Structure 1
Amino acid sequence: MFGICNLSIVPLRLEPRDPSEMVSQVLFGEHFEVLEMDKKWSKIKLHFDGYEGFIDNKQYQEITEEYYHKISNSPKHYSGELIDFIVDKNNSLTTIPIGSSLPFYDGNSFEINSTPFSYDGNVFSEKLSKAEIVNKAYLFLNSPYLWGGKTPFGIDCSGFTQMVYKICGHELQRDAKDQALEGEVLSFIEESEPGDLAFFDNEEGNITHVGIIMKDYNIIHAHGKVRIDTLDHSGIYNAEFQKHTHKLRVIKRII
């Protein structure tokens, strides 16, 4: 069984119950495989990054396997406005956040499960240069931190890096520890370029944080909010608190 998200933002939960931890979010237009299903909950696996979790059965539409593969093999188009709306054939509005998927977009319209929608906002559909990664990261500046979040209304550290790379046409895994397995290791900060990723670990040595390196030894990352701090060989230095907040583990070049 397969499905597609037809709502703005749907919580993806660790367990099949409403009070369960939100581990990520499913944005409008994202499609997935349904692994298990009961009366209220479905365990799904997102096509984009293979991430798994539970969503409410009322918060998605079922699609055929043929349609799932058709979307998977079609060109990718993502909404490019921080927040915008789409219009269906009944002139009903649905708000969508940046990075929402627009299946079979043809210039000003797209479709979900054979239902047409119109959208006249900015669209990302190409692989952008590495120099654009930092520029697009600025779109999320001051977004509040939210565990499991992927939108300007609430985002976590790895959701931030994944979404920035996504709208630039590059795929990343969902969690920081998995993103850290991708790309090429850099030995020194001096070797890094704007757009590279820096990863940070906790006292147990587990990678728990990630940010995007900028020029002049700065880093943009989600910590309380999406903010810009200084990066040095020890980690992230927060001038506001006058202390290091994260311990540097590794720097990776993804593209």
Structure 2
Amino acid sequence: MQVLEKFADLRQGFIDDSRQGIFDVGILGGVLEGIAEKRFENEIYNFANQNNIPLKVNFVKPQKRYLLAARAYLKKEANAASDNVSELKYGDELEIYDINGDFARVKSMHDGYFAWLDIRDMVHSLVEPSHQVIALRGHVYEQPRIASKQVFELSYGVKLALSAIDGDWAKVSYAKNSQGFVRKSILEDIGLRLEPIQDSIVEFAKKFLETPYTWGGVTAWGLDCSGLVQTVFAAHGINLPRDADQQAKMGQEISIEDIQKADLLFFEGHVVIAIDKNSFIHANANSVRVTIDNFSSEYGRWLKDRFIVAKRILG
């Protein structure tokens, strides 16, 4: 087997998807060069030694960062015009690997997703949070009154540092030493989770009804099909991968005749949450929002013809 074929086999054995890690290494001019995560160092060194190939690979050690912006899209490539592939919200923990212009290649720590993020949207550290947002959407206000200026958007699960209570309002710290006020009723102590049962999964998903369909989105400001699934299950303490094809590898496979509430149904390029054997809730480009549909409708029949697999995530 030629060296190039051997190396292709080596690479495929570790990572065949840029969403899962960094292994941008190739043989150019007889030299093994590029950039890769530190976890691949031994294998690449061994390959170079065994095949007598000079090595010029940068094995990057990640640095911890946090999202500073209220929301920010992860990009497929290192430029603002690139496709959105996912979304982060304020306080999300990241690992930064390398820089390309105004963008950094990062790993989202809650789902292990690799993509590119504008370096202006991240920061080295944030104030230690004490509470989390339990409303789908919200705002930080300049003063403790609804008529006050809205200064920061909030999404479900965002964590804030509470410093004082003022009637129905909580004074919070966020971003770079900024302070403002949040309705006390939309906050709870960090760590509280919804119980991961079928009814709760579906009822929580229904809270997102009419939310705009937004490719790459994961919040109630706009989300896509797999973003809805990931967000709903994360609220119940169940971390799923970001994209539908990745989610389809999780859970227990079931027949379409055995579908129960909260099962995931996968179609060509799409995923939905089952409500019962016939109806489901999903974020979809057809309606451009989150809707409830059923397999008896024209759209439902069209979708069912593209069925791939059903998975049960809850035991």
TM-score, normalisation: structure 2: 0.65
Number of the residue aligned with 1:37: 99
1:137 to 198, 205, 218: 205
More helix by share: 2
CA distance in 1, matches of 2:300, 2:138: 38
2:308 to 235, 249, 254: 249
CA distance in 2, matches of 1:176, 1:251: 12
CA distance in 2, matches of 1:80, 1:105: 14
Give, in angstroms, the shift of residue 110 of structure 1: 6.5
Contact preservation (8 Å) 1:5, 1:27 = yes
Deviation digits for residues 91-124 of structure 1, max 9, x if unmatched?
983111223x316779957666894756424347
The verdict on how the C-alpha distance between 1:35 and 1:88 changes in structure 2, with shifts beyond 3 A counting, is farther
Q: Percent identity?
A: 26
Matched, 1:223 2:277: no
Deviation digits for residues 152-184 of structure 1, max 9, x if unmatched?
232111001001111222211100111111111
TM-score, normalisation: structure 1: 0.78
Q: Relative contact order, CA 8 A, sep 6+: which one is greater?
A: 1
What is the 5 A alignment of 1:141-160? 141-160=209-228
Give, in angstroms, the shift of residue 126 of structure 1: 1.5
CA distance in 1, matches of 2:243, 2:267: 13
Number of the residue aligned with 2:155: 97
Matched, 1:56 2:123: no
Deviation digits for residues 6-30 of structure 1, max 9, x if unmatched?
2211111011111101101111111
SS of 1:244 mapped into structure 2: helix
Give the gaps of 5 or more residues in structure 2. 1-62, 144-148
Q: Greater shift after overlay, 103-112 or 77-86?
A: 103-112
Number of the residue aligned with 1:176: 244
Letter in 2 for 1:194: K
Aligned length: 232
The verdict on how the C-alpha distance between 1:95 and 1:114 changes in structure 2, with shifts beyond 3 A counting, is closer
What is the 5 A alignment of 1:16-27? 16-27=78-89
Deviation digits for residues 127-162 of structure 1, max 9, x if unmatched?
423120101101111122221111223211100100
CA distance in 1, matches of 2:279, 2:187: 28
Letter in 2 for 1:250: V
Larger gyration radius, structure 1 or structure 2: 2
Give the gaps of 5 or more residues in structure 1. 202-207, 232-236
CA distance in 2, matches of 1:14, 1:46: 13
